Structure 1
Amino acid sequence: MPTHAHVIDRALDRIRAGYVFPGKTADIEAAIRRRLAAGDYEGLDGPSFCEAVTAHLQEVCPDRHLRLLWTEEPQDLNPGTQDDGRAAFLALLRAENQGIRRVEHLDGNIGLLDVRRIADAGEGGPAIGAAMQLVALSSALILDLRACRGGMPEGAALWCSHFFADDQVHLNDMYDRATDSTRQFWTSAHLPGPRYLDRPVYVLTSALTFSGGEDVAYTLQALGRAVVVGETTRGGAHPTLRHPVAEHILVTVPTARTINAVTGGNWEGTGVRPDVEVSAGDALETACKAALERLGA
């Protein structure tokens, strides 16, 4: 088992090399090394050590994606076999039905999609299309993201594309530090399922909604395509890579930032603020009532 100092060395190397805001890395390193020298991590087991370092990272740099994670699954530390966590996340998505937990038909011809992860656009596209097919004949749609903990930017763009008529809608841009380049995300011309047009859409959020789930909520809200109902979300807008720094410890390093095409900003640190603020437990009922009123039912 490597020492805490060795893990911190490896983690700081990754942060210094990849963090999307390189000007902040010196302050991050100084703060963590000061804590290490003061003995703040002495006697902590693996999970507690990760929690403590994460709290200190976010204290000096309040980025929700910047953290150490403990994993029970042993990690391959051979650099030649690492893929920044992509393979593991794709496997998780397969095990969780590409993030789609539930599709339901509610009273008043309201469709409900309960989405817990935002899938990869390639592997997850058929499942997303199938879900949209099942709600295609509804009069209004509720997209429940209250338990959505994140996912893929390409998948977020694919979900959003179903709510616009063509490929002419600019969703957002993404600046990547490694390549010093900006990639544009537009609605897709060809989709795996039917488009959902000219009908009301409600997005449910909670204080747990994070990352890719926030992307979908923020984008649809900014473009005026959905009403967000629920709680302000957690506030993580920076796409992230995962690097093993010990057999059971990963460092997550935000390497890019999202720039919304309408607002010019994103939800980092602030979260997505709902249009209708209610507790997460009341969000579904509130959205159903609003949908029925809008439909004149």
Structure 2
Amino acid sequence: MKILRSIGTAAIVAAIACSPAFAQSAGVSNQRDMQMNAASRQQLIDAVIKEVNNSYVFPDMAKKVETSLRHQQKRGFYDAIASAQQLSEVLSDALQAATKDRHLRVMYSEAVIAGRKSSDERSPEEAASYLAMMRSNNFGIDKIERLPFNIGYLELARFARAKEMAETLAAAMTLVAHTDALVIDLRNNRGGDGAAGLLLASYMFDKRTQLNDFYYREGNRTEQRWTADVVPGLRYGGTKPVYILTSKDTFSAAEDFTYALKNLKRATVVGETTGGGANQGDNKRLLPNFSLFVPLGRTISPVTKTNWEGVGVMPDISVCASDALRTAQLAILANIAASENNPDELGRLNERIGQLSERTTGRITCG
């Protein structure tokens, strides 16, 4: 058994440039707070309402947000909040309570926010800093392992931007290409770049396949999203079993990938119902120290004609997240054993199944 926690990109010399998609920005921790007064609170609330009305994918829900914030403001709900960080958190809670949309949130930054329009318009310094951070995290690829009986295991903590992640992902997929079944662990994946999820999905099919549609409020337009015709490295192919592990923390782009492969019957989902964030968007600058992550569009499955917003992606095999890997292995091994004619190999399979069956968490409910 061999575990590779960091994969050298030299294994794959071909790289691709994927068109940019929506990328979520991580919050800044341990930053100095800023004092708010009545005028600055009013300015921020006005800016939030204006941007939500201008950009949010659901115009009718944007009006509901405005009504809710104005009502709370009239009742003096925000009057005692002097902390910029606290106000951004309280406003985020209010937005999400009004819309049930966990993507919609206000963010405070000690550093002045550049006046760019989107996350894809980073300054050279920001781009270099982002790339260095992603490299230090191996572009979200936490672990690759070959489990007993040639089962591949790939753990992704996030989806980095596809353009930067492509080479490392190609190396990872090449290493698992010859396994007989693949487990993709998204239990700790809170999302990232939807284009990276699309790239990963492209390895799982033998021919060009439509994954979903994406509706944009701006321009009232819909785009179809298909797997790539060509991927760097080796395809996994469209016939070998694929299992996706989920938890209640699996969110956004990780849910997008899971929902598409589940509905296309390309993967079996094992674990817990996911977080329920289907409306993808981008950061919008509100004021020098505040921005708003606002959903600009929504995913629509060609199979279900809807998405997982607010309800999450339900697993095919429902177990606690802590038991998901063991459960997926048991399902794979049971399928192998069902067609195994060699008594010695069948004995080894049953021994492994017995070992995994004994490894229970002892939990009755998921924590």
Q: How does 1:28-43 map to 2 (within 5 A)?
A: 28-43=65-80
Task: Report the TM-score when normalising by structure 1.
Answer: 0.92
Does residue 188 in structure 1 map to residue 228 in structure 2?
A: yes
Deviation at 1:122, TM superposition (A): 2.1
Report if aligned partners of 1:93, 1:117 keep a CA contact under 8 Å in 2: no
Q: Secondary structure at the match of 1:119?
A: coil
Matches of 1:97 and 1:225 in 2, distance apart? 26
Report if aligned partners of 2:159, 2:191 keep a CA contact under 8 Å in 1: yes
Deviation at 1:191, TM superposition (A): 0.4
> For 1:231-280, what per-residue CA distance to the aligned partner results, in whole angstroms no more than 9, with x for missing partners?
10010001111123244432111000101121111110110000011111
Does residue 96 in structure 1 map to residue 160 in structure 2?
A: no
Matches of 2:258 and 2:112 in 1, distance apart? 33
Alignment match of 2:157 (pick from 116, 124, 131): 116
Deviation at 1:97, TM superposition (A): 2.0
Does residue 8 in structure 1 map to residue 41 in structure 2?
A: no
Alignment match of 1:234 (pick from 275, 278, 286): 275
- Number of aligned residue pairs: 292
Alignment match of 2:99 (pick from 61, 67, 79): 61
Alignment match of 1:164 (pick from 205, 220, 229): 205
Q: How does 1:1-297 map to 2 (within 5 A)?
A: 3-44=40-81, 45-71=83-109, 74-77=111-114, 79=115, 82-86=116-120, 87=122, 91=131, 92-167=133-208, 169-197=209-237, 198-296=239-337, 297=349
Task: Report the TM-score when normalising by structure 2.
Answer: 0.75
Matches of 1:49 and 1:104 in 2, distance apart? 44
> For 1:107-142, what per-residue CA distance to the aligned partner results, in whole angstroms no more than 9, with x for missing partners?
221111111112323222112111101111111111
Greater shift, 155-164 or 2-11, is seen at 2-11
Unaligned runs of 5+ in 1: none
Matches of 2:233 and 2:59 in 1, distance apart? 40
Higher gyration radius (CA): 2
Matches of 1:110 and 1:144 in 2, distance apart? 13
> For 1:207-249, what per-residue CA distance to the aligned partner results, in whole angstroms no more than 9, with x for missing partners?
0000000011111100001110001001000111112324443
Matches of 2:259 and 2:109 in 1, distance apart? 30
Q: 1:280 to 1:247 in 2, by over 3 A?
A: farther
